[in-house]
């Protein structure tokens, strides 16, 4: 079965520090990979996605992620965290197979930001 | 720009009661989805509708039914609610089906079954 692993349940960083959230996925021939962010009481908002091509993907709010096929990873990074980045982050994987509609989500990483 | 709208936002049900969660999108999307979110579990797909007139089971369909009323609306029904269905429910849509398409989520419906 497909799986997406986010090893860190909760991360705390200081405002202005750099951030890296880890995501590993089970192997898929051509994975579609996503990072979503969820603020408390809100729905999920897409930060960025990888389908193919350049393995370094830029997203909204200054986030980027790097696809590493050899490590089955798609880690999310931000060089300088802002207090407003405190939220829960979800990595998700889809497959390119015809008729495949299901995204598999990781269990999420909650980010706390210390002023 | 409303996007995906769900109602109600909060609901408390007694075990055995029934209810319907309503969802509408105004983006002219073809595909719609219902997910549930439980603490520490991420999001799991309940049902989806690849296009108007079709519905299919996702990962956790037991205890639920869905109706794709028209292109805009996709409802989720709990026929006989159970405490295990206490969860946050998200409706979502995408322009086309296929997991390579960006999914847009509603703000969620908090359901408690007592």
Q: B8 preceded by cis ω (within 30°)?
A: yes
User: Which residues on adjacent β-strands are paired with residue A24?
Assistant: A5, A73
The answer to whether the CB atoms of B105 and A43 lie below 8 A apart is yes
Cα distance between residue A110 and residue A87, in whole Å: 6
| Confidence tier at B97 by pLDDT (50, 70, 90) | low
Name residues whose C-beta falls within 8 Å of residue B27's C-beta, 6 or more positions apart in sequence.
B3, B4, B93, B95, B104
At A42 the pLDDT is 85
The whole-angstrom distance between A79's CA and the closest CA on chain B is 25
Using an 8 Å Cβ cutoff, are A51 and A95 in contact? no
Residue, of B71 and A29, whose pLDDT is higher? B71
pLDDT at A24 over 80: yes
Q: Which residues of A touch B45 (CB under 8 A)?
A: 101-103
Q: Which residues of B touch A96 (CB under 8 A)?
A: 98-100
- Average pLDDT over all residues of chain A: 89
List the single residue in B with minimal CA-CA distance to A52.
B100
For chain B, the C-alpha Rg in angstroms (whole number) is: 13
- On whether any CB of chain A is under 8 Å from the CB of B107, the answer is yes
The whole-angstrom distance between A15's CA and the closest CA on chain B is 26
At A112 the pLDDT is 97
At A40 the pLDDT is 86
pLDDT at A98 over 60: no
CA distances (Å), origin A75, targets A34, A40, A78, A90, A109: 10, 22, 10, 11, 12
Residue, of A99 and A63, whose pLDDT is higher? A63
Mean pLDDT for the stretch of residues A94-101 = 60
The answer to whether the CB atoms of A44 and B43 lie below 8 A apart is yes
């Amino acid at each position: 079965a497909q799986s997406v692993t986010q090893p860190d349940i909760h991360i705390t960083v200081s405002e202005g520090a750099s951030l890296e959230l880890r995501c590993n996925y089970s192997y898929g021939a051509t994975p579609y990979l996503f990072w979503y962010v969820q603020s408390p009481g809100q729905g999920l908002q897409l930060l960025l996605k990888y389908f193919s091509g350049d393995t370094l993907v830029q997203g909204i709010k200054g986030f980027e992620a790097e696809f590493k096929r050899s490590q089955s990873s798609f880690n999310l990074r931000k060089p300088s965290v802002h207090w407003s980045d405190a939220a829960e982050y979800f990595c998700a994987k889809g497959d390119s197979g015809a008729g495949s509609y299901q995204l598999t989500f990781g269990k999420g990483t909650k980010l706390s930001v210390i002023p | 720009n409303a996007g995906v709208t769900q109602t109600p936002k909060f609901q408390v049900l007694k075990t055995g009661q029934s209810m319907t969660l309503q969802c509408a999108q105004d983006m002219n999307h073809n595909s719609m989805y219902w997910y549930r979110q439980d603490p520490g579990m991420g999001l799991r797909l309940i049902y989806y509708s690849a296009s108007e007139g079709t519905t299919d089971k996702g990962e956790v369909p037991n205890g639920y039914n869905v109706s794709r009323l028209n292109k805009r609306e996709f409802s989720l029904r709990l026929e006989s609610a159970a405490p295990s269905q206490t969860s946050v429910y998200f409706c979502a849509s995408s322009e086309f089906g296929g997991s390579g398409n960006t999914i847009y989520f509603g703000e969620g419906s908090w359901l408690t079954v007592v």
